[in-house]
Structure formats: structure tokens, C-alpha cells
């Protein structure tokens, strides 16, 4: 099954206690796509870069089988850049700079061939743009979205409209509390279900993830890592592994398939944080993913 992703493509400058990278490949759509590419689905990519975007990154995405017909390379434009660090706390980034560049004028326009994609992921972009995407999508089977604190702060009405139209919201714990003004995460999750999504998946970083529907509750611990090299992109990698597996089963309503998908999301995210940027994914194999997935299953079995 095909998956459509609309989101950011970035060149990230990131500093962690383990070192620093400058202008490395990043962005929500990028992390998502590469994660999803380890599962048997076609990824249709919508995003924008400038003409400074290195060809090697295009080649890498193509080598992962990502369909880049929807990637707009804007002449004379500069690629979105983000700079941040995780020095004191590996769980939350300190932003040093944000240069929106071409991403500041980004208006997603789906190639006609993309409009019937059954699985849709609205990565973390302005909810106004997420709504633009939803207008262009036809006959989707499952729409999943992400968001962030910034949009909860400055664009809540559009975000609430997006939520009315999506099936699943994937969100981190702090943002779930912020969105609902609830300090208890279970209450926050239940509140979100009243906004529109039939399921909310709450990411808790090193503490794993929760999934809530009206009738089901699932909790999965994170894969235990003795060191986190660079957490950038963990959330998008989780979403990519989740959607990648779910689309490959083509059973978006199945609680069992969803739980497995959360397991795969957890595993792919755990590999992502083992190196800067998408470096770990460059030599990652599906065998390693399956192996760690089995370990994860055994770790929670009782």
C-alpha cells in the first residue's frame, strides 16, 4: 500500500554531548519516509527544498525507494535550516536558530497521482497546510497527523479543525498535556478522542508510548538504550515505522496490527537515535529491525 507524507525537509545543525553536525539531512518528512521505507510500501513525498539541497540527499532518499515526484526544488531558494542542541537534557531540544527559507512559503500541492494514496501522514507542519493537504486527498483509508507546541500556541483553531478530520493523532506527552490542559496523561488522551481522532498515540520518549481509543488501551515501554546519541527525528521515525508497518498489513482498524505497528515504530526510532541525522539508517537492515522487534516483544512478555 502507498503512503503519502507531507512535511519538512531540513538541513540540521545539531549538538549533543556526543558531538556536532552541521547542515546534516533532517526534517519531519525525511525521517518519516526513511523509517517507512523499511516496510513494503511506496512512500510518496511532498515537501520543498532550495537549490542548495545536496544531490547526495536526493540520491539517498531515492535509494530508499522514496517517490520524490512531490518534492519541489525551488530555484534560487534556500533549504529550511534548524539548529539546536541537547546538552543538559536528551529529552528536549534547545533551538538555537530556525531559518524557514523555502519552507516559509511552502504550500503543499499534491501531484495528481498522489491524491488517491490510501495512507496519509501529515507530519508536523502548520495545521493550515495540513488542511490544504486534506482538501486535495481523495479516498484515503487512514489519515494520521502529528503536531507540535508551536501550533498549539499560535494556530489552535486550525489544529482543532485538522483533528476533526484525522483518524489518528500521534503526539508527545508534553504536547498532549498542553493541548488539553490536563496534567494526567490518561485524561489528556481521552480528551483528545473527543476532538475527532478515533485513536491517539502518545509518545513518551524513554518511557515508551501509549495508544488510546474509546475501547482499547495499549502501553509499550521504549526499547532500552544505554546511550542515546542524538534524539533528533525520533518522533518522526516512530511515525514512519508505525505507518510503514500498518500500511503493509492494510488493516488500519485492527487493534493487533496497530499494536505491532507501535512496536515497529518504537524499534525504528530506537535505531534512529543511535547516530546523528539519518546515519544509522544508512546501513540498517530489515533483519536488524525484526531482531530488535522480537527482543522488544520478549521484554514485555509476562
Interface pattern 279-298 for a second copy (x via CB under 8 A)? ------------------x-
Determine contact, residues 134/123, Cβ cutoff 8 Å: no
For a second copy, give the closer residue by CB, 75 or 298. Answer: 298
> Interface with a second copy includes 299 (CB under 8 A)?
yes
d(CA 276, CA 21): 7
d(CA 249, CA 247): 5
Shortest distance (Å) from residue 154 CB to a second copy: 27
> Interface with a second copy includes 259 (CB under 8 A)?
yes
The count of C-alpha atoms lying within 13 angstroms of the C-alpha of 227, restricted to the half-sphere facing its C-beta, is 7
> Interface with a second copy includes 174 (CB under 8 A)?
no
For a second copy, give the closer residue by CB, 112 or 301. Answer: 301
> Interface with a second copy includes 265 (CB under 8 A)?
no
> Interface with a second copy includes 220 (CB under 8 A)?
yes
For a second copy, give the closer residue by CB, 139 or 298. Answer: 298
> Interface with a second copy includes 87 (CB under 8 A)?
no
> Interface with a second copy includes 187 (CB under 8 A)?
yes
Q: Which stretch binds a second copy (CB under 8 A): 29-37, 79-87, 157-165, 259-267?
A: 259-267
- Long-range contacts for 281-286 (Cβ within 8 Å, ≥24 apart)? 281/34, 281/35, 281/38, 282/60, 284/38, 286/38
- The DSSP bridge pattern shows strands 119-122 and 19-26 to be unpaired
Instruction: By CB under 8 A, name the one of 65, 174, 196, 221 that touches a second copy.
Output: 221
Instruction: By CB under 8 A, name the one of 184, 194, 198, 286 that touches a second copy.
Output: 184
Instruction: By CB under 8 A, name the one of 107, 186, 253, 291 that touches a second copy.
Output: 186
Burial per residue of 8-31, b for 16 or more beta-carbon CB atoms within 10 angstroms, e otherwise: bbbbbbbbbeeeebeebbbbbbbb
For a second copy, give the closer residue by CB, 137 or 234. Answer: 234
d(CA 25, CA 57): 7
Q: In what order do the strands lie in the sheet with 10-16?
A: 19-26, 10-16, 81-85, 94-99
Q: In degrees to the nearest 10, what's the CA dihedral of 157, 161, 162, 165?
A: 170
Number of residues that bind a second copy (CB under 8 A): 31
Instruction: By CB under 8 A, name the one of 95, 181, 256, 283 that touches a second copy.
Output: 256
Site for a second copy in 104-163 (CB under 8 A): none
Which among 119, 114, 169, 162 has a CA at the least distance from the CA of 136? 114
Determine contact, residues 37/14, Cβ cutoff 8 Å: no
Instruction: By CB under 8 A, name the one of 19, 51, 224, 254 that touches a second copy.
Output: 224
For a second copy, give the closer residue by CB, 124 or 260. Answer: 260
For a second copy, give the closer residue by CB, 110 or 201. Answer: 201
Angle at 8 between CA 176 and CA 238, to 5 degrees: 50
d(CA 208, CA 296): 11
Give me the residues that bind a second copy (CB under 8 A), please: 184-187, 190, 204, 206-208, 210, 217-222, 224-228, 256, 259-260, 262-263, 297, 299-302
Amino acid at each position: 500500500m502507498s503512503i503519502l507524507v507531507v512535511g519538512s525537509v531540513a538541513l540540521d545543525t545539531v549538538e549533543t554531548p556526543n558531538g556536532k553536525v552541521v547542515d546534516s539531512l533532517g526534517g519531519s518528512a525525511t525521517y518519516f519516509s526513511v523509517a517507512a521505507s523499511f516496510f513494503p510500501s511506496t512512500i510518496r513525498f511532498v515537501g520543498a527544498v532550495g537549490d542548495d539541497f545536496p544531490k547526495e540527499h536526493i540520491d539517498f532518499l531515492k535509494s530508499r525507494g522514496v517517490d520524490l515526484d512531490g518534492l519541489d526544488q525551488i530555484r534560487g531558494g534556500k533549504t529550511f535550516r534548524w539548529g539546536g542542541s541537547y546538552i543538559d537534557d536528551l529529552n528536549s531540544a534547545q533551538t538555537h536558530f530556525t531559518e524557514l527559507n523555502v519552507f516559509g512559503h511552502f504550500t503543499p500541492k499534491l501531484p495528481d497521482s498522489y491524491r488517491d494514496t490510501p495512507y496519509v501522514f501529515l507530519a508536523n507542519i502548520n495545521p493550515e497546510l495540513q488542511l490544504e493537504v486534506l482538501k486535495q486527498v481523495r479516498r484515503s483509508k487512514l489519515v494520521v497527523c502529528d503536531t507540535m507546541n508551536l501550533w498549539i500556541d499560535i494556530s489552535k483553531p486550525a489544529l482543532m479543525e485538522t483533528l476533526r478530520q484525522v483518524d489518528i493523532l500521534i503526539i508527545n506527552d508534553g504536547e498532549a498535556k498542553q493541548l488539553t490542559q490536563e496534567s494526567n496523561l490518561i485524561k489528556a488522551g481521552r480528551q483528545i478522542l473527543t476532538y475527532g481522532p478515533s485513536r491517539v498515540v502518545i509518545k513518551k520518549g524513554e518511557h515508551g508510548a501509549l495508544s488510546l481509543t474509546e475501547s482499547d488501551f495499549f502501553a509499550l515501554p521504549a526499547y532500552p538504550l544505554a546511550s542515546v546519541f542524538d534524539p533528533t527525528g525520533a518522533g518522526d521515525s516512530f511515525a514512519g515505522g508505525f505507518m510503514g508497518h500498518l500500511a503493509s498489513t492494510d488493516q488500519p482498524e485492527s487493534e493487533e496490527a496497530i499494536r505491532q505497528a507501535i512496536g515497529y515504530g518504537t524499534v525504528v526510532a530506537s535505531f534512529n537515535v543511535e547516530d546523528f541525522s539519518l546515519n544509522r539508517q544508512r546501513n540498517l537492515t530489515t533483519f536488524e529491525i525484526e531482531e530488535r522487534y522480537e527482543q522488544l516483544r520478549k521484554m514485555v512478555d509476562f
